[in-house]
Amino acid sequence: MSVDTAEGKESQFRTLDAAAYADITLGTHLPISHQKEDWQTKKYFWLRVGYDHVFEAEDGEKTVPEDRVIVALHARHFLPAGVFVEGRLRADLRWIGGEYSERYRFRIEVNRDFDVRNHMVTPYLQAEWFDDSRYDGTSRELYQLGVEISINKHFRVEPSVARQLDYLPNSSGLYAFAFVARWFY
């Protein structure tokens, strides 16, 4: 379960995402020396299936909500020096105001785990491309640099900075700072 919020600087644009996911692990375990305390980092492959409801408001007025069914396949590959390359293929089956569309997302990430005072710290660099059926093409690119910090077995924080480039329906771009708190059960 995750709840994300965002607020724009240039306008009173706010979003609230309420989501729930189920993860199914596939494949074999990583070598014992590369295992963290959670299931995700112990696997080479996993499948995520979920649902996301997005509430939005701009200048105090609610906009059309969005419902998404999400299916994603994740894969990891171990490189020398403890570096991992992760890939994700994701399909968002979307209903925006009752209109159906699909968005396909491809993300690649490079990360490495460090143990800092008995806390797992994972800096990462990501690049992601979005293909939207509403526009018949690549609609967005997203580049992100961040770090995931394990507070305890069930709680993590993740500050990051991002550059987003939108191409369709209009060209625009933005820089963003994010702070995500994750609770794992």
Model confidence at 154: pLDDT above 90: no
pLDDT of res. 14: 73
Q: Specify the higher pLDDT residue, 40 or 159.
A: 159
pLDDT of res. 9: 53
Q: What percent of the chain lies above the pLDDT cut of 70?
A: 83
Model confidence at 73: pLDDT above 60: yes
Model confidence at 47: pLDDT above 90: yes
Model confidence at 105: pLDDT above 90: yes
First CA to last CA distance, the chain: 9
CATH topology of domain 2-183: Lipocalin (2.40.128)
Model confidence at 4: pLDDT above 60: no
> What is the overall mean pLDDT for the chain?
85
Q: Specify the higher pLDDT residue, 7 or 128.
A: 128
DSSP result, the chain: -EEEEEE-SSS-EEEEEEEEEEEEEEEEEPPGGG--SSSGGGEEEEEEEEEEEEEEEETTEE---EEEEEEEEEEEEE-GGGEEEEEEEEEEEEEETTEEEEEEEEEEEEEE-EEETTEEEEEEEEEEEEEETTTTEEEEEEEEEEEEEEEETTEEEEEEEEEEEE-SSS-EEEEEEEEEEEE--
pLDDT of res. 183: 82
pLDDT of res. 61: 73
Dump pLDDT digits (tens) for 12-45.
Answer: 667 778 889 998 887 665 554 444 555 555 678 8
> Contact, 122 vs 146, CB < 8 A?
no
* C-alpha 166 chain-centroid distance: 17
pLDDT of res. 31: 54
User: At 78, is the pLDDT very low, low, confident or very high (cuts 50, 70, 90)?
Assistant: confident
All structural domains of the chain with their residue ranges: 2-183
Model confidence at 89: pLDDT above 90: yes
Mean pLDDT of 108-125: 94
pLDDT of res. 62: 75
